[in-house]
Structure 1
Amino acid sequence: MTDATQGFGLIQDIDVRLTVELGRTQMNLREVLDLAEESVVMLDRLTDEPLDVLVNGKLIAKGEVVAEGNRFGLRILELAGDNRAASPRERRAPPIEVAPAAQAEGIA
């Protein structure tokens, strides 16, 4: 085992924040203060566009929401920096299990 491999092993158990970003918008404070129940906020992303997957604020992948029973999951479609789109086999991969503590943080 090389020194680099051993060093990587030391950091694998460090917790990171995984965020799935549905979209963004810019609003002025008046618009924010006018929000109420049933308000609709339009986002900058189309319904068929992949979602951004970020770790500690850094884009690492693109993905799509999947539902299994009454829970949401995330299917990774493309890794950041990967110039190829996910193959059909990768698209059919089972969703990643989300730990209950991370579940509320993971879908934004």
Structure 2
Amino acid sequence: MSGSMLSQAEIDALLAQIPASVDEENQDGRSKLIQPQQTASEKIVPPGSHPNLERILDIPLQVKVTLGQGARSVKDVLNLMPGAIVEFERNVSEPVDIMLNGKLIARGEVVVVEEHFGVRVTQIISPLERVRKMV
């Protein structure tokens, strides 16, 4: 591995080491909440079971939250100015998407924490489904 960032090929190789039985209790493909007593990393990689994978669990990853997206004409973009409002089709009551490496991993609701935005996670895409989407 070069530097502190993993290439997509390195991530794919590490994810391929995860056994297919990671989440057999959720075979119907529905998302489920992960219980706070057991973190996602413990669910995917029980301590001591995959020493190679355990070595990368503390690598920082880029997480993005998608509030909405849409298409705008060049004219609309050029007319943007301070105070303009860019509206999206997503309803205010709909959850926002939490993305990792461009892949959906969870959904949540926007909250304010002191003077910062945050997201309260309301739904986690199952670990098995997340791994399938990353490969």
Q: TM tier, shorter chain?
A: 0.5 to 0.7
Letter of the 2:102 partner, please give it.
G
Aligned equivalent of 2:99:
54
Matches of 1:32 and 1:14 in 2, distance apart?
A: 37
Q: Which stretch shifts more, 48-57 or 33-42?
A: 33-42
RCO comparison, higher one (Cα < 8 Å, 6+): 2
Aligned equivalent of 2:65:
20
Instruction: Give the superposition deviation at 1:68.
Output: 2.4
Q: Relative to total residues, which structure has the larger strand share, 1 or 2?
A: 1
Matches of 1:37 and 1:68 in 2, distance apart?
A: 25
2:117 to 49, 69, 72: 72
RMSD: 1.6
Tell me, yes or no, if structure 1 residue 40 matches structure 2 residue 62: no
Alignment coverage as a number of residue pairs: 80
Instruction: Give the superposition deviation at 1:65.
Output: 1.3
Matches of 1:22 and 1:50 in 2, distance apart?
A: 8
Matches of 2:65 and 2:95 in 1, distance apart?
A: 10
Letter of the 2:96 partner, please give it.
L
Within 5 Å, give how 1:74-93 maps onto structure 2. Answer: 74-81=119-126
- Residue aligned with 1:11, SS: coil
Letter of the 1:13 partner, please give it.
D
- Residue aligned with 1:26, SS: coil
Runs of 4+ in structure 1 over 4 Å off: none
Give TM-score, length-normalised by structure 2: 0.54
Give TM-score, length-normalised by structure 1: 0.67
Aligned equivalent of 2:4:
none
Which of 1 and 2 has greater Rg? 2
